[in-house]
């Protein structure tokens, strides 16, 4: 078990290393283009060369990578071209905002999805099951940008209950969070619910559930004690991996509602070819994804005694 975790952590670090190399090579191998992006298209050839010289860009690639990586690990991400401030100054703020959005989404989505999945999988083919399955299919078919349009049309323009943008210009306003969360939950919960349902349905048809029924156990005990523990192992992994998906969803939603978060920042950086900002944002995103993968793996082995005691 300890070894398994150690190997996972090793793999995770290796993944991060490879990603960072790819990213570095993709964005900084062509130094002239870096200089153009930093100094602008109207800079002169000499200006660019001077800039490259002073910033150590004529050193060998390997050396440059290690300097870059070293700075990166110590928290120095460079200066944003677009915002003209150190990347770190804006990054953490934006990340915090996104954390609020993601946390709220997960807080609503996970309990809702699991509850619906369990109810649906408990008795396959029942009316509840069919209804929930239908809802899930429909909601997962509506992409975030579409549900943002639909929900805004209803709640913002027709009913005028909710604000149409979530800029939070005048401080934090929970009301501005409602639509983004609703959009993210709507698109995301169906998948988790369907996975939970499949897992639950599979468990309910196993022989050990039959054993439990034929032991004469009360129904609630069969569900709570025998079924749930087994049925929730698979969804746990799915939920952890949803965090990776959430990062994608967040970009669309933050853009759609002008929410000042990490996703919008990444998009802005990409559109503006803001090299250092892109690097920082991507590394953070990959780091989150790899970490959740790690937690999912460890959690899966922990929840499953067959792996835990082997």
Partner 1 sequence: MEKTSNNPHPLHSLLTTIGLLRESRVAMLGAAICLFWVLVALFADVLAPHDPLSNLMPMQKPLSENPQGGLFWLGTDLLGRDILSRIIYGTQTVLIYAPLATLTAYLVGIVMGLAGGYYQGRVDMVLSFVANVILSFPVLVLYILIIATIGSSGINIILAVTFASAPGIFRIVRGLAMDLRNREYVAAAQTRGESALWIMFVEILPNARGPLIVDACLRMGYVIITIGVLGFLGMGLPPPTPDWGGMISDARKLFPVFPHMAIFPCVAISSLVLGLNLLSDGLREISLND
Partner 2 sequence: MTENILEISNLSISYFSRSGEIPAVVDFNLVLKQGESIGLVGESGCGKSTVAMAIMQYLNGNARIVGGSIRFKGRELTRLSAKELQQIRGNEIAMIYQEPMASLNPTLLIGEQLIEVLRCHQKINRHEAQAQALDMLVNVHLPDPARVMQAYPHQISGGQQQRVVIAMALLAKPALLLLDEPTTALDVTVEAGIVDLIGELAARFNTSMIYISHNLGLILETCSRVNVMYSGQIVETGAVKNVFDRMKHPYTKGLFDCIPLPSTDKHSRPLKPIRGQLPLPHQRPKGCFFGPRCDHFQPGRCDSATIGISSLPRQPDHAVRCVRWQEIDLDTPQAPQQEASGGTGHGAELLKISDMQKYYEVHDRSLTALLKGDNVKVVKANENISFSAHAGETVAIVGESGCGKSTFAKVLMGLETASSGEVLLNGESIADKHVTERRPDQTRAMQMVFQNPFDTLNPSLSIGTQLARVIRKFGAIEGKAAIQARVLELLNLVKLPAEFAHRKPRQLSGGQKQRIGIARAFAGNPSVVVADEPVSALDVSVGAAVTRLLMDIQQQQHTSVIFISHDLSLVRYLADRVVVIYLGNIVEQGSTEQVFAPPYHPYTEALISAIPVADTTVQKKRVILEGEIPSAMNPPAGCPFSSRCPRKIGSICDEKKPELTSAQSGHKIACHIPLAELLEVEPVFALNQTVTVSPPLQPEPLRSATA
Among partner 2, partner 1, none, residue 214 binds (CB under 5-8 Å by kind): partner 2
Q: Rule CB under 8 A: say whether 309 interacts with partner 2.
A: yes
- Chain positions 216 to 235 lying near partner 2, rule: CB under 8 A, are 216-218, 221, 225-226, 229-230, 233
Q: Does 105 bind partner 1 (CB under 8 A)?
A: no
The reply on whether position 130 binds partner 2 by CB under 8 A is no
Q: Which of partner 1, partner 2, none has residue 211 at its interface (CB below 5 to 8 Å by kind)?
A: partner 2
Which partner, partner 1, partner 2, none, binds residue 11 by CB below 5 to 8 Å per kind?
partner 1
- Contact letters for partner 1, residues 16-35 (x by CB under 8 A): --xx--x---x---------
Residue 172 found at the interface with partner 2 (CB under 8 A): no
Shortest Cβ distance from residue 124 to partner 2 (Å)?
A: 9
3-state secondary structure the chain: CHHHHHHHHHHHHHHHHHHHHHHHHHHHCCHHHHHHHHHCCCCCHHHHHHHHHHCCCCCCHHHHHHHHHHHHHCCCCCECCCCCCEHHHHHHHHHHHHHHHHHHHHHHHHHHHHHHHHHHHHCCCCHHHHHHHHHHHHHHHCCHHHHHHHHHHHHHHHCCCCCCCCCCCCCCCHHHHHHHHHHHHHHHHHHHHHHHHHHHHHHHCCHHHHHHHHCCCCHHHHHHHHHHHHHCHHHHHHHHHHHHHHHHHHHHHHHHHCCCCHHHHHHHHHHCCCHHHHHHHHHHHHHHHHHHHHHHHHHHHHHCHHHHCC
- Picked from partner 2, partner 1, none, the partner binding residue 285 (CB below 5 to 8 A depending on kind) is partner 1
| Residue 3 interacting with partner 2 (CB under 8 A) | yes
Site for partner 1 in 128-147 (CB under 8 A): 133, 137-138, 140-146
* Site for partner 2, rule CB under 8 A: 2-4, 125, 206-208, 210-218, 221, 225-226, 229-230, 233, 303-306, 309
């Amino acid at each position: 078990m300890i070894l398994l975790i150690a190997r996972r952590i090793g793999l995770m670090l290796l993944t991060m290393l490879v990603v960072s190399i790819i990213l570095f090579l993709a964005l900084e191998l062509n130094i002239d283009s870096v200089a153009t992006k930093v100094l602008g298209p109207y800079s002169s050839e000499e200006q660019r060369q001077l800039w490259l010289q002073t910033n150590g860009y004529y050193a060998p690639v390997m050396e440059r990578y290690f300097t870059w990586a070293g700075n990166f690990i110590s928290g120095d991400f460079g200066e944003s071209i677009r915002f003209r401030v150190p990347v770190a100054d804006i990054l953490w703020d934006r990340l915090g905002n996104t954390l609020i959005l993601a946390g709220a989404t997960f807080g609503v989505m996970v309990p809702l999805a699991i509850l619906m999945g369990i109810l649906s999988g408990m008795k396959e083919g029942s009316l509840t099951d069919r209804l929930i399955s239908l809802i899930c299919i429909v909601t997962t078919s509506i992409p975030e940008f579409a549900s943002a349009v639909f929900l805004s049309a209803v709640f913002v323009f027709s009913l005028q209950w909710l604000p149409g943008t979530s800029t939070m210009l005048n401080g934090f306003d929970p009301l501005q969070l409602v639509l983004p969360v609703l959009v993210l939950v709507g698109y995301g919960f169906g998948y988790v619910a369907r996975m939970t349902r499949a897992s639950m349905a599979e468990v309910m048809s196993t022989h050990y559930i039959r054993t439990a029924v034929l032991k004469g156990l009360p129904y609630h005990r069969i569900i709570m004690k025998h079924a749930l523990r087994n049925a929730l192992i698979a969804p746990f992994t799915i939920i952890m991996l949803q965090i990776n998906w959430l990062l994608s969803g967040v970009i669309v939603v933050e853009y759609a509602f002008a929410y000042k978060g990490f996703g919008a920042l990444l998009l802005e950086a990409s559109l503006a070819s803001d090299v250092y900002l892109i690097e920082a944002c991507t590394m953070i995103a990959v780091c989150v994804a790899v970490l959740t993968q790690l937690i999912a793996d460890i959690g899966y082995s922990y929840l499953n005694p067959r792996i835990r005691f082997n």
